[in-house]
Amino acid sequence: MYRFLLSRQWVILTLVGLALIPAMIRLGFWQLHRHEHRVAQNQLIADSLAAPAVPVGRLTAPGRAVAHDDMWRTVTAKGRYDTGHEVVVRQRTAADDQTIGYYVLTPLVMDNGRAVLVNRGWIPAGNDLTRFPKVPAAPSGEVTVTGRLKADETTGGSGIKDKKGLPARQVMLINSEQQAKSLSEPVLGGYIELTTSSPKGTGQPEVVPEPDHSGIGPHMAYAIQWWLFSAGVPVGWVVLVRRELRDRAAARAAEPAPEPVAAGT
């Protein structure tokens, strides 16, 4: 009755189904882990933004990577902007997540002789991408900046390719080690994403908005979807087997009955 299951077609179908089940289960757990990571990241951002501001020197130092738990912490720094070593970061979007432009990255030389990179915000790209854009002048004299502490960007972490041969004073990544090569002062690891400045200055770049830490994305729904798919494979296999049995039974019933053999022939 079930000998058809040993046919080449059914053996291949069964093996494919057996391979799909663990693959789909693993994909479901992968999406679950992405969901858990997103939830943990949201909590980290919320806790960091709610924490009181601290001097940036407490959380980072020259040649020291920003700790994961210190990401997004509100920090302060006091010093003077070194606009002579100011650069712009290419291919960054405005607050609308659509308009492409630059981030303005300016070193702030602090009173202790150390420098920290400050992302002063976003400006439009303009028409000529081969030239240094018109950048709003940074506040002169001593300034106090407040912002979110961020880790250095890398190609592996951000997915942004670090292109070579760019126009002068244009970069792809915000990376303190790269910028330290052109500065005479030791540079703190990571950078500050500016939120407020005193004095503020006039016509400043558009401040980078606070990161979204409310949405959890579709990962949990995708995980459940993959697990339902994995459960559907054996169900589908059983349905196909039962259909095959019905078709074979109907085919046998439709076969004409053999004619009786006459006696004496």
Could you give phi then psi for residue 196, rounded to 5 degrees? -140, 160
CA distance 103 to 124: 9
CA distance 208 to 225: 35
**Tell me, what's the pLDDT at 141?**
95
Taking each continuous run of H as one helix and of E as one strand, the counts in the chain are: 4, 8
Question: Model's pTM, two decimal places?
Answer: 0.77
Instruction: Tell me the DSSP string of 71-98.
Output: TT-EEEEEEEE-GGG-EEEEEEE-TTS-
Q: Which residues of the chain have pLDDT under 70?
A: 257, 261-265
Instruction: Tell me the DSSP string of 176-198.
Output: HHHHHTT-SS-EEEEEEEEEEEE
**Tell me, what's the pLDDT at 38?**
87
**Tell me, what's the pLDDT at 216?**
81
Residue type, position 86, single letter: E
In sequence order, the 6+-apart residues with CB closer than 8 A to the CB of 232 are none
**Tell me, what's the pLDDT at 262?**
63
**Tell me, what's the pLDDT at 76?**
97
**Tell me, what's the pLDDT at 261?**
67
**Tell me, what's the pLDDT at 263?**
63
